[in-house]
Amino acid sequence: MTLEQLRIFVAVAERQHMTQAARALNLAQSAASHAVAALESRHNTRLFDRIGRRIELTEAGRSLLAEARAILAQVARAELALGEFGQLQRGTLAVRASQTIASYWLPYHLVRFRRAYPAIDIRLKIGNTAQVADAIETAEAELGFVEGAVTSAHLTSTAVARDQMLVVVAPGHPWADAPLAANALVGGDWVLREQGSGTRSAFEQALAQLGVAPQRLNVVLELPSNEAVRAAVEAGLGATALSASVAAPSLEAGLLRKVAFPLRDREFHSLRHKNRDPSRIAAAFLALMAATRPQRPVPDGFPSG
């Protein structure tokens, strides 16, 4: 069993398609097929069931996939360690971040790091809080950034910034014209991010601290992105809670109004594995970030009604 065979197997398993996997790896389809066949022949075990033009993992294939991913992740860490020699002239910074952070806060720091260390590759992927934490635990990424602290026996969670949360509505909404009491929140329609998103979790925690049960809200629409939520509220469908950085363009354009209902700031946290020392690359990125003066995304001066 070779690393190349494992890479090909993982590519085929993730796509469940031999041709697409070969194309992604810049291989001939015959080479990919031969690698999978060699694994099956050596161990006298089917890894895929061929169903018409489709292929599906067998039980043995699913078991191998988990082990192969772990092996390849270990190899990637070894390659990363070698790439760190030479004063950060080679290597990769693998980062996972939640949507709000990846779209509005993290790019500034990534640009500064890229300018300081132009030879370092930056790989950023976006996921919800649980996905980010899982990527750090499984070593798919070295650093994670999420909205709020994460409690885990394996992860270190450190506050790195503060973010202002706002309740916003369209200009014609009744809440745009007067201060709002906490108990009035349950009387309106809401458009929110999906369960598991950092924005949704932070808002529900804030409500609970105010004595409002989140399940009492009339959530008429759940959407998977900040931009979709913002657009729905701009169109007049209820209220929402968003990061000030997300709401800023619409507030400036007069498409949204800030409701006179203060929410506590939330914290952005960095995640890393407790039992893995940070690489030189990750340490350099965290140091560069720490040297940046903290900024809240949006000042308080936007109209509130």
CATH of domain 92-162+267-290: 3.40.190.10
Structural contact between residues 72 and 3, judged by C-beta atoms closer than 8 angstroms: yes
Residue 147 gets which letter from DSSP? E
Average predicted confidence (pLDDT) for the chain = 88
pLDDT exceeds 60 at position 298: no
Q: Which carries the bigger pLDDT value, residue 81 or residue 265?
A: 265
DSSP string, 148-216: S----SSEEEEEEEEE-EEEEE-TTSGGGGS---GGGGGGSEEEEEPTT-HHHHHHHHHHHHTT--GGG
Proportion of the chain above pLDDT 70, given as a percent: 94
Predicted local distance difference test score (pLDDT) of residue 86: 55
In CATH terms, is domain 165-264 a member of 3.40.190.10? yes
Round to whole Å and give the CA distance between 120 and 136.
Answer: 20
Please give the DSSP secondary-structure letter assigned to residue 239. Answer: B
Sheet holding 165-169, edge to edge: 240-243, 165-169, 257-258
The per-residue pLDDT for range 102-128, each reduced to its tens digit, is 988 999 999 999 999 998 999 999 988
Domain 3-83 has CATH 1.10.10.10: yes
pLDDT value, residue 302: 41
- pLDDT grade for 132, boundaries at 50, 70 and 90: very high
Distance between CA atoms of residues 102 and 14, nearest Å: 25
Residues of the chain with CATH 1.10.10.10: 3-83
Helices (H) and strands (E) in the chain, counts: 11, 12
- Every domain range in the chain assigned CATH 3.40.190.10: 92-162+267-290, 165-264
Q: How much of the chain is in helix, strand and coil states, percent to nearest 5?
A: 45, 20, 30
Q: How confident is the model at residue 85 (pLDDT cuts 50, 70, 90)?
A: low
Q: How far apart, in whole angstroms, are the C-alpha atoms of residue 275 and residue 178?
A: 51
User: Which of 2-6, 23-27, 80-84, 158-162 has the weakest average pLDDT?
Assistant: 80-84
What confidence score (pLDDT) does residue 89 get? 77
With cut-offs at 50, 70 and 90, classify the pLDDT of residue 301: very low
Beta strands per DSSP E along 22-132? 48-51, 54-57, 92-97, 121-126
Q: Which two tokens stand for residue 174?
A: 């009744």
- For 119, list phi and psi in degrees, rounded to 5: -85, -5
Beta bridge mates, 66? none
Q: What are the pLDDT digits (tens) for 222-254? A: 998 999 999 999 999 999 999 998 999 999 999
Closest CA to 193 of 183, 202, 205, 206: 202
> HSE (CB half, 13 Å, CA atoms) of 239?
23
User: How far is the C-alpha of 192 from the C-alpha of 199, rounded, in Å?
Assistant: 9
pLDDT tens digits along 14-32: 988 898 999 999 999 999 9
